[in-house]
Amino acid sequence: MYDRFATTRLIDLWLTEDIGSCDLTVQVMIEPGETGAFRMNARESMVVSGIEIAATVFRRYEPALDVKVTAADGDRVEAGATLLLVSGPAQGILTAERTALNIVQRLSGIATETARYVDVIKGTSARLIDTRKTTPGLRMLEKHAVTCGGGLNHRLGLDNGVMIKDNHIAVCGGIAQAVARARLKLPVLTKIEVECDRLEQVHEAVAAGADVIMLDNMPVPQMREAVAYVAGRTKLEASGGIRFETIRAIAETGVDYISTSKITQSAPAVDIGLDEA
């Protein structure tokens, strides 16, 4: 999910960046009264994300445009599928075209990559979650794209939960002390996660009452030991160095969540075009 008000402000920034003072090509070639009709189509198989945002780009720049969305976020479509139809003043369509395509290509790329990872761990109890390694300014939308692909969101920002890492533990004097400090001031509905890279730390985190334990860069055999020891007393998240080739084995250890930045940082944009209808 994403906030429409915040998205509109982003769209204004995107259009301002791309247009500058004016779309010179359109201004010298296209007459104000000329019209056009185009369709946005998938040029490869993909999971759709951001199509309503693309429609908003067109409407924001030229309110007179008639924009019809023909696919929904989360849809799995094949090459040739029509995602959106836009018609009306040609100047508006051609000026906003690239901005609309850029965002839906990027978000659909993330959704498609997420779905690829989700598919490979089907049949296990593990759920795929994202990280805060997102494009600055686009986190809200990129995390929306992850959910379109079947993944879950981790923290949206630093204010969404407590993540106790090694440096926090060092300053506080231990995992028990760090968790106790956090509990003193923590909002009652907010969770505490503790990052552990050794089994003895997992034991300490369980004893301290952590809500979630991150198994950071642990080998698969150690993850299995951690799962057996915890025995459902708290949630376990595997993180660090997760790759498509290794995620199935990690999911089969019995962890609850697997987090990776690959689905946002490394996702390629998909091929979507705007062609004459």
Give the residue numbers marked as catalytic. 98, 133, 165, 195, 216
**Residue recorded with tokens 């334990």:** 213
Reference 131, options 260, 268, 2, 1; nearest CA is: 260
Instruction: Please name the amino acid found at residue 257.
Output: Y
Mutual orientation of helices 90-120 and 139-148 as an angle, nearest 10°?
60
Measured CA distances, 86 to 13, 31, 67, 174 (Å): 22, 18, 4, 59
Q: Taking a C-beta distance cutoff of 8 angstroms, is the pair 104, 272 a contact?
A: yes
Q: Locate 156 and state its tokens.
A: 């949206």
Reference 77, options 38, 117, 104; nearest CA is: 104
Q: Taking a C-beta distance cutoff of 8 angstroms, is the pair 149, 115 a contact?
A: yes
Measured CA distances, 139 to 130, 133, 149, 254, 264 (Å): 11, 8, 15, 29, 9
Task: Count CB atoms within 10 A of the CB of residue 245.
Answer: 8
